[in-house]
Amino acid sequence: MPLVKPLKPDHDTETKALANFFNETLGFCPNSVLTMQHRPEISKAFINLNKAVMSNKGRVTSALKRMMAWVGSNASGCRYCQAHAIRAAARYGAEKEKLNHLWEYKTHAAFSEAERVALDFSLAASVIPNAVDESLKEQLYTYWNEGEIVEMLGVISLFGYLNRWNDSMGTSIEEGAIESGNTYLAKQGWDKGKHSES
C-alpha cells in the first residue's frame, strides 16, 4: 500500500487540465501526480516543471532525456521511475536496440559517444556522494554546450525528486508502466517491488 493514496484524476480541475501532458508521455496520468493533488500547488508546479524540463530544445532529444531519466532512476533504485522512464523513452522514439541494452550503454555499439557522456552525467549526478568531477565536465563540453548541459541536469534533478517521492511514497504502479518494465527491464531483474498496483 502506498504511504498516501492517490486521488481521483478529476479531484483538482487545474491539475487535470495540466496532466493531459502525460497522456502523450505515458498514455495515462501517473499515480505520483494524483497523489501530489493532496496539495494541488505541488501537483501543478510539478507538472509545469516537468513540461519545461522535458521540452525538446534541439540535440538533447526527448528519447535521450528519458534514457537519462532511466539511468538516474536505476542508480537510485526507484523501480516505479525506471518503468516510467523506459516507457516514455519508447514512446518518444528511442531505438529498440538502445532500449534493450540501456544498462550496457557504456560499451554497446547502439550508443554514440555523445550519448554515453550524457548517460555518464546522469549516473554521476544521481549517486550519493555526487560523482560529477572535472574529468566529466571536460567530456561533457566535448559534445554538449552550456544550454544542453542545463537541460540535461534539469532532467537528472527532476528525476531525483521523483525517485525520492515515489520510493518513499511507495506509489502504486500503473498497468502500462508494468507492461513496459516487463518488456524492457525484467530480463535484468526488474519487478514492481513495493509499488503494488492501485
Q: What is the pLDDT of residues 100-123, one digit of tens each?
A: 999 999 999 999 999 999 999 999
How many angstroms separate the CA atoms of 179 and 112, rounded?
28
Residue 88 pLDDT greater than 60, yes or no: yes
| Closest to 104 in 3D by CA, of 187, 191, 176, 193 | 187
Residue 68 pLDDT greater than 90, yes or no: yes
The third-level CATH classification (topology) of the domain covering 60-188 is AhpD-like (1.20.1290)
Q: pTM score, two decimals?
A: 0.96
The mean predicted confidence, pLDDT, of the chain is 96
DSSP summary character for residue 174 = P
198: pLDDT confidence band, cut at 50, 70 and 90?
A: low
3-state class (DSSP) for residue 197: strand
* Annotated domain spans of the chain: 60-188
How many angstroms separate the CA atoms of 62 and 39, rounded?
29
DSSP summary character for residue 187 = G
| Closest to 79 in 3D by CA, of 141, 172, 145, 198 | 172
How many angstroms separate the CA atoms of 130 and 57, rounded?
26
Q: What is the pLDDT of residues 126-163, one digit of tens each?
A: 999 999 999 999 999 999 999 999 999 999 999 999 99
Residue 38 pLDDT greater than 90, yes or no: yes
